[in-house]
């Protein structure tokens, strides 16, 4: 579904292409903290080590970041001893490490060389922070001290799931959930099914079809992640790996309908602007208003699909079955068979902890900022009992859907051990701490009625900036970032970057 907000299209691309990278060197925080400056004790050649950071959420991974903290690439290749990026290089051939540490001698040792103007500009800003960097600085995103190995609280599988499908549902918190999955795939270098241009949800309301996927990002193999596809029981399984884990999120039909009605301005669509209370008026005779609209309009707005049983529609049920309780029931039990976990928006934190446990992820993988939230003043908060009854009656399939998956959800929760709620509290604490650190303000966009997150400009520590900026990316932005990342990683850039690198290297040598 297309948003009415044109501002969605942040141009992170341009930033991405022209800013220098930083390097986050995966290493164990403790080791790094123990080590102190030993510069001078070793031969560091002439390389100007401009900036080095440590990223310790996942030990032994190299992460390259640009100035804004956007991740450029993940080092997983053994084939080369160097990895280039737009404006820097990691040289793993050298015994030497960085200027700040000589203690970390695992295979992820690296050195960073860069001296372009962007980097210099950046350093001016960051010089102070750099000079002061020492072990008292929290390299760990302001979170609790990291263990040497991330401690995994009991999870259903022995290893993290990496093949995932998030089914598209609208106005259910799925944007926030999508962001979590994008970040997970991004951080772990997984392959995404990215949609072709101009759609981030694979041409919803069409059922997913593999031809909507941009194959050039796939290198002839099935992707790990498919995010925001409309449910289709045949085409998705045929496209995705067999062991894919299917996720969906739903919410209470009452609040969902309210969100659809105001969020998509259904009153405008149906020409009900002159009513004093279009919401209430619609609910008195919903079918009549809808049919009237469908008769009048030669082409109807796709958002109209959301007006009745919107969630079940997203999950694949055809309109014609809305009055067929048997078909509805059958469809729901089909879904229950195919979808591994249906989350509830009302219990978002519990849902995420459940998800994290099922997937064997870390709690850090599921931190979030709420995206696409409506501002309270754009909500109808005072829904009467009568309205609620009418909404439920009108959205009969959604009510059945919610009833069913509400049960399975709480069954899963009751099967958890007593540490479950401790983990929920921990997640909330992490989210609060990131909010405190990163968020400057929440502002209402008057065009969309949605809350937009404004991050602090200068006061966020680098590590959190990386994370927090990612956490605010909506689908379109994340996809365009991923395209850039993959282009950089895969395309003929390689040759150019290699030359660029050697040019720099040669220049540095000559300068010696
Ligand atoms: C760093 O290297 C020096 C000698 O090269 C050694 O004496 C020192 O113990 C090392 N520091 C650490 C923390 O390993
Ligand atoms: C360096 O590597 C050796 C051998 O792998 C290991 O025993 C030692 O603990 C490492 N030192 C540090 C400081 O990581
Ligand atoms: C690095 O940049 C500075 C400032 O632009 C310049 O003076 C210096 O020569 C450069 N050094 C190398 C090795 O390129
Ligand atoms: C709203 O306007 C339409 C046509 O302009 C009219 O038929 C309808 O009665 C009006 N409704 C109200 C509540 O004024
Ligand atoms: C909510 O609606 C009821 C009935 O229409 C009304 O009595 C009550 O004052 C309303 N509350 C608010 C906060 O608007
Ligand atoms: C969801 O399930 C819980 C636990 O069984 C129950 O208390 C709650 O009323 C249910 N909610 C809805 C909306 O059905
Ligand atoms: C695509 O896959 C082939 C075969 O596995 C591999 O050699 C090649 O490096 C891959 N290309 C990219 C860009 O990953
Ligand atoms: C760098 O220097 C090597 C020889 O030292 C030379 O073969 C190579 O062409 C140079 N590369 C560039 C890009 O200048």
Q: Which of 256, 401, 406, 391 is nearest to 344 (CA)?
A: 406
Cβ(280)–Cβ(387) below 8 Å:
yes
* pLDDT higher than threshold 70 for residue 142: no
* pLDDT higher than threshold 80 for residue 163: yes
Higher-pLDDT residue of 264, 217: 264
Ligand 3 atom nearest to CA at 117 = 5
Return the pLDDT at 497: 53
Give the HSE-up count for residue 266: Cα atoms under 13 Å, Cβ half-sphere. 26
Return the pLDDT at 415: 94
| Of 253, 410, 412, best ligand 6 pocket probe by most atoms within 8 Å of the beta carbon | 410
Return the pLDDT at 483: 82
Please tell me the distance between residue 382's alpha carbon and the centre of ligand 5 in angstroms.
6
Distant-in-sequence, close-in-space partners of 78: CB < 8 Å, separation ≥ 6: none
* pLDDT higher than threshold 90 for residue 66: no
Residue 482: which pLDDT band, with cuts at 50, 70 and 90? confident
Integer Cα distance of 435 and 451 in angstroms: 14
As a whole-number percent, the residues of the chain with pLDDT over 70 amount to: 63
Identify the nearest ligand to the CA of 278 by its number. Answer: 4
Residue 60: which pLDDT band, with cuts at 50, 70 and 90? very low
* pLDDT higher than threshold 80 for residue 39: no
Residue 496: which pLDDT band, with cuts at 50, 70 and 90? low
Q: In sequence order, which ranges of 70-229 are alpha helices (DSSP H)?
A: 117-131, 174-187
Integer Cα distance of 361 and 351 in angstroms: 13
Identify the nearest ligand to the CA of 412 by its number. Answer: 6
CA distances from 251 to 260, 365, 366, 452, 476 (A): 12, 23, 19, 22, 23
Order of strands across the sheet that contains 82-85 = 82-85, 88-91, 112-113
* CATH code of the domain occupying 164-493: 3.40.50
The mean per-residue pLDDT over the stretch 458-467 comes to 70
Strands 164-167 and 225-229: parallel
Return the pLDDT at 175: 95
Q: Whose CA is nearest to atom 5 of ligand 8?
A: 506
* pLDDT higher than threshold 90 for residue 114: no
* pLDDT higher than threshold 50 for residue 149: no
Higher-pLDDT residue of 421, 81: 421
pLDDT tens-digit readout, 94-112: 222 232 233 333 323 222 3
The mean per-residue pLDDT over the stretch 73-101 comes to 30
Return the pLDDT at 254: 96
Return the pLDDT at 466: 72
Angle, in degrees to the nearest 10, between helices 253-263 and 385-394:
90
Please tell me the distance between residue 490's alpha carbon and the centre of ligand 7 in angstroms.
8
The mean per-residue pLDDT over the stretch 205-217 comes to 86
Please tell me the distance between residue 403's alpha carbon and the centre of ligand 6 in angstroms.
7
- Beta bridge partner(s), residue 18: none
Return the pLDDT at 179: 96
Higher-pLDDT residue of 466, 80: 466
DSSP state of 20: P
Please tell me the distance between residue 274's alpha carbon and the centre of ligand 4 in angstroms.
6
Integer Cα distance of 97 and 42 in angstroms: 9
Would you say the pTM of this structure is higher than 0.85? no
Residue 448: which pLDDT band, with cuts at 50, 70 and 90? confident
Q: Which of 24, 306, 9, 28 is nearest to 169 (CA)?
A: 306
Q: Whose CA is nearest to atom 8 of ligand 5?
A: 382
Return the pLDDT at 481: 83
Ligand 6 contact, 403 CB (< 6 A): yes
Average pLDDT of every residue of the chain: 71
Distant-in-sequence, close-in-space partners of 166: CB < 8 Å, separation ≥ 6: 174, 177, 178, 181, 225, 226, 227, 228, 229, 247, 248
Identify the nearest ligand to the CA of 386 by its number. Answer: 5
What is the sign of the dihedral through the CA atoms of 34, 36, 38 and 43? positive
As a whole-number percent, the residues of the chain with pLDDT over 90 amount to: 40
Backbone region of residue 37 per phi and psi (left: phi > 0; alpha: psi in -120 to 50; beta: other values): beta
Ligand 4 contact, 276 CB (< 6 A): no
Give residue for tokens 């309908």.
Answer: 257
Ligand 6 contact, 406 CB (< 6 A): yes
pLDDT tens-digit readout, 283-314: 999 999 999 988 888 788 889 999 999 999 99
Return the pLDDT at 50: 26
Return the pLDDT at 14: 36
* pLDDT higher than threshold 50 for residue 440: yes
Give residue for tokens 């005779």.
Answer: 285
Ligand 6 atom nearest to CA at 403 = 14
Q: Whose CA is nearest to atom 6 of ligand 3?
A: 115
* pLDDT higher than threshold 50 for residue 200: yes
Q: Whose CA is nearest to atom 4 of ligand 5?
A: 384
Burial of 287-297, coded b for 16+ CB within 10 Å and e otherwise, reads eebbeebeeee
Ranking 68-77, 364-373, 445-454 by mean pLDDT, the lowest is: 68-77
Q: How many residues are recorded in the chain?
A: 512
Return the pLDDT at 223: 93
The mean per-residue pLDDT over the stretch 51-60 comes to 27
Pocket of ligand 8 (CB under 6 A): 499, 502-503, 506
| Of 74, 78, 219, best ligand 7 pocket probe by most atoms within 8 Å of the beta carbon | 219
Strands 62-66 and 71-75: antiparallel
Q: Whose CA is nearest to atom 9 of ligand 1?
A: 103
Integer Cα distance of 356 and 298 in angstroms: 46
The mean per-residue pLDDT over the stretch 10-36 comes to 32
Q: Which of 470, 505, 500 is nearest to 86 (CA)?
A: 500
Phi, psi (degrees; rounded to nearest 5) at 452: -115, 140
């Amino acid at each position: 579904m297309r948003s009415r907000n044109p501002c969605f299209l942040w141009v992170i691309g341009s930033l991405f292409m022209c800013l220098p990278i930083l390097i986050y060197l995966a290493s164990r925080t403790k080791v790094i903290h123990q080590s102190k400056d030993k510069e001078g004790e070793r031969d560091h050649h002439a390389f100007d080590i401009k900036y080095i950071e440590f990223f310790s959420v996942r030990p032994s991974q190299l992460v390259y970041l640009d100035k804004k903290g956007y991740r450029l690439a993940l080092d997983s290749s053994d084939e080369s001893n160097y990895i280039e990026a737009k404006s820097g290089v990691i040289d793993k051939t050298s015994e030497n490490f960085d200027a700040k540490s000589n203690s970390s001698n695992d295979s992820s040792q690296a050195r960073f060389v860069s001296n372009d103007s962007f980097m210099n500009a950046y350093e001016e800003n960051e010089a102070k922070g750099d000079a002061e960097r020492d072990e008292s600085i929290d390299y760990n995103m302001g979170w609790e001290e990291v263990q040497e190995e991330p401690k995994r609280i009991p999870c259903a599988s022995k290893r993290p799931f990496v093949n995932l499908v998030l089914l598209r549902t609208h106005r259910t918190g799925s944007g926030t959930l999508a962001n979590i999955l994008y970040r997970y795939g991004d951080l772990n270098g997984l392959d995404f099914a990215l949609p072709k241009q101009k759609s981030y949800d694979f041409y919803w309301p069409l059922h997913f079809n593999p031809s909507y996927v941009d194959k050039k990002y796939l290198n002839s193999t099935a992707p790990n992640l498919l995010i925001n596809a409309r449910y289709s029981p045949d085409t998705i399984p045929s496209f995705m790996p067999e062991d894919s884990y299917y996720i969906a999120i739903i919410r209470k039909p009452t609040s969902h309908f309210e969100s659809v009605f105001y969020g998509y301005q259904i009153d405008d669509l149906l020409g009900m602007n002159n009513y004093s209370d279009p919401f209430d008026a619609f609910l008195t005779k919903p079918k009549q208003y809808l049919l009237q609209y469908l008769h009048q309009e030669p082409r109807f707005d796709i958002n109209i699909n959301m007006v009745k049983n919107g969630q079940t529609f997203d999950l694949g049920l055809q309109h014609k079955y809305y009055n067929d309780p048997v078909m509805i029931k059958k469809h729901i039990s089909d879904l229950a068979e195919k979808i591994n976990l249906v989350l509830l928006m009302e219990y978002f934190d519990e849902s995420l902890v459940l998800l994290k446990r099922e997937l064997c992820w870390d709690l850090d993988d599921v931190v979030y900022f709420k995206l696409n939230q409506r501002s309270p003043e754009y909500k109808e908060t005072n829904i009467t009992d009568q309205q609620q009854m009418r909404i439920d009656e009108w959205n009969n399939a959604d009510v059945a859907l919610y009833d069913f998956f509400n049960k399975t959800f709480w069954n899963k929760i009751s099967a958890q051990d007593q540490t479950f709620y401790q983990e929920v509290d921990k997640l909330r604490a992490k989210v609060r701490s990131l909010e405190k650190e990163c968020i400057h303000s929440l502002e209402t966009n008057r065009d969309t009625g949605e809350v937009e997150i404004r991050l602090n400009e200068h006061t966020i520590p680098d590590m959190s900036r990386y994370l927090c900026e990612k956490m605010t990316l909506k689908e379109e932005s994340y996809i365009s970032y991923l395209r850039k990342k993959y282009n950089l990683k895969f395309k003929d850039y390689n040759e150019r970057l290699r030359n660029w690198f050697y040019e720099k290297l040669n220049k540095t040598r000559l300068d010696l």
